[in-house]
Amino acid sequence: MTYVVTEACIKCKYTDCVEVCPVDCFYEGPNSLVIDPDECIDCTLCVAECPVNAIYAEDDLPEDQRQFSALNAELCKVWKCIVEKKDPPADADEWKEVKNKLHLLEREYAPGEEERNYPGGSKDGKDEDGLTGMDKLLMR
C-alpha cells in the first residue's frame, strides 16, 4: 500500500507533509504535490501534517478520488522531487474548501519555469553514493 495526494491539494500546495517525509517521496508540480508510490514506505507521517486532509492510504481513497492513485504514479515521473517546506501559494487559503478542482490541475510547467529535479541528480533517484532515500532510511 502507498499513500496518495488527492484533489484537496490542487491550488493549495501546502508542503508541511514534505518536511516530515523520511524518504523524500513527494514531487512538486506547478499547483499540486504527488507521492511516488514506489518510494513511499507507508509511514503515515505526512497524513497528520496536511492542513487540507489531501493525503489518504491508497486502500482508503474515497470513491471520487480513486483516479488520483494513477495521477500520483504518472506525475511523480515528470515532476521534481521536493524535500523542503515552502510557503504555499498566496491564495491557498481561498482554495482550501473548494471541491471539484481536478480540472485546475496543471500537469506541466510553463516554459522557463522549474523542470524535473531528480533526487541526487539522477533519474533513478540515487545520490552520488548510489543510495536512494529508502537505502538511507534502512541504514539509520
Cβ neighbours of 15 (radius 10 Å): 20
What's residue 123's pLDDT?
46
**Average pLDDT per consecutive 10 residues, the chain (140 residues; last block may be shorter):** 96 97 97 98 98 98 97 95 96 96 87 50 58 59
Q: Which of 84, 86, 81, 85 is nearest to 126 (CA)?
A: 81
| Number of compact structural domains in the chain | 1
- Determine the 3-state secondary structure of 110 from DSSP: coil
What's residue 108's pLDDT?
83
Give how far Cα 51 sits from Cα of 9, 70, 111, Å.
Answer: 9, 23, 30
What's residue 13's pLDDT?
97
What's residue 84's pLDDT?
95
Domain of 39 in residue numbering reads as 3-139
- Which runs of consecutive H residues, i.e. helices, occur in the chain? 16-20, 45-49, 67-75, 92-95, 133-139
State the CATH number of the domain containing residue 84: 3.30.70.20
Query: What's the whole-model pTM score?
Result: 0.79
